[in-house]
């Protein structure tokens, strides 16, 4: 049996302590030397096709975020089912702070009431990151033979001749705006569904229908050319995008406020640091004059909300959109 002298024991213990220190150092050093978020490219899922409004907006904002974060922003288009395919993918993504989603009033407020199984739960599957902007709708007409110069005139005419004024509705959002307007204003109008803005605009300009509800983006070229008159904008307050146009809420329908919106979300469980930092960098991006100008040119009114404010906003939007959809029995074609 080998014996150990006192000196040998001291040497043994000293060597063991050194080895343990090295071992612990090997564990702790990478943690302390780890780079702050983000240390690799960030993926943002856009649940709509490339080239559409949401995609163009995310690429515009993504350019500013990339510069601010000094990291690549990878926009990934996953279109289909009204945004549900991309939203479901984002909901199931690893919540590591490197996958986010451009959410909308459709994916995070309306779709659960329009589809029997969207594939995700907007109330529990996402963390709110930041609001990007609002997309107000407009009620427009090209009719020159109707004595309608504003929302009050429209309501009076509709009440005097119920269901004789057709309104073109090229989207689910337009249908929701229409349903709420008819209910709030007690204006018996007749909605006509279209598959696209181009189709409804063609019919309005051609005189087949007298009215349409659409985005500022779709209507503005014809407004600028004097071919369409704007009766009202659907945001609660007037918009910089259409100076001089009064909101519906100031024309006899108090409190009327139905707008589309775009915001960033993260899979539930994403580190709070990543959520907060991305939110702060997005706020800086929205303060850039050129970014704001380009957003408004595309029909999006910049509006920043932080995580807590956006969470509260979406929590209120879901029953609002759901209530309108259910009451009007709006369906997805």
Q: Please, what is the average pLDDT of the chain?
A: 91
Least confident of 241-245, 307-311, 312-316, 329-333: 329-333
DSSP string of 11-25, one letter each residue: HHHHHHHHHHHHHHH
Per residue in 156-194, pLDDT tens? 999 999 999 999 999 999 999 999 999 999 999 999 999
Distance between CA atoms of 59 and 38, rounded to whole angstroms?
Answer: 19
Task: Give the pLDDT confidence score for residue 145 in this predicted structure.
Answer: 84
Distance between CA atoms of 259 and 182, rounded to whole angstroms?
Answer: 16
Is residue 154 a contact partner of residue 161, using CB atoms and an 8 Å limit?
no
Q: Which residue has the higher pLDDT, 240 or 143?
A: 240
Please report the domains of the chain, with CATH numbers, ordered by start residue. Answer: 42-135+260-328 (3.40.190.150), 137-250 (3.40.190.10)
For the chain, the maximum distance between any two Cα atoms, rounded to a whole number of angstroms, is: 114
Task: Give the pLDDT confidence score for residue 143 in this predicted structure.
Answer: 83
Coil/strand/helix, residue 122: coil
Per residue in 184-215, pLDDT tens? 999 999 999 999 999 999 999 999 999 999 99
């Amino acid at each position: 049996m080998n014996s150990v002298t006192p000196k040998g024991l001291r040497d043994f213990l000293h060597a063991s302590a050194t080895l343990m220190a090295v071992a612990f150092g090997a564990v702790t050093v990478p943690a302390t030397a780890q780079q702050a978020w983000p240390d690799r490219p960030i993926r943002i899922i856009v649940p709509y096709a490339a080239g559409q409004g949401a995609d163009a907006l995310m690429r515009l904002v993504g350019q500013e975020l990339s510069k601010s974060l000094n990291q690549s922003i990878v926009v990934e288009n996953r279109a289909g089912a009204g945004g549900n395919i991309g939203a479901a993918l984002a909901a199931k993504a690893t919540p590591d702070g490197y996958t986010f989603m451009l959410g909308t009033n459709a994916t995070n407020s309306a779709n659960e009431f329009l589809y029997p199984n969207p594939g995700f739960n907007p109330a529990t599957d996402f963390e709110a990151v930041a609001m990007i902007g609002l997309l107000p709708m407009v009620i427009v007409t090209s009719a020159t033979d109707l004595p309608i110069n504003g929302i009050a005139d429209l309501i009076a005419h509709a009440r005097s001749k119920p269901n004789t004024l057709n309104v073109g509705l090229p989207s689910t959002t337009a249908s929701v705006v229409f349903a709420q307007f008819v209910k709030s204003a007690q204006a018996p109008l007749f909605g006509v569904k279209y598959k696209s803005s181009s189709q409804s605009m063609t019919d309005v300009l051609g005189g087949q229908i007298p009215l349409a509800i659409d985005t500022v983006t779709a209507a503005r070229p014809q407004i600028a050319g004097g071919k369409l008159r704007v009766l009202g904008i659907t945001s609660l307050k007037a918009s910089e995008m259409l100076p001089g146009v009064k909101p519906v809420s100031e024309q006899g329908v108090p409190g009327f406020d139905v707008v589309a919106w775009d915001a960033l979300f993260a899979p539930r469980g994403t580190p709070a640091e990543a959520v907060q930092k991305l939110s702060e960098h997005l706020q800086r991006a929205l303060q850039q004059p050129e970014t704001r100008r380009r957003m408004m040119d595309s029909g999006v009114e910049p509006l920043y909300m932080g995580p807590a404010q956006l969470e509260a906003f979406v929590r209120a939007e879901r029953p609002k959109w759901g209530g309108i959809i259910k009451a009007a029995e709006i369906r997805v074609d």
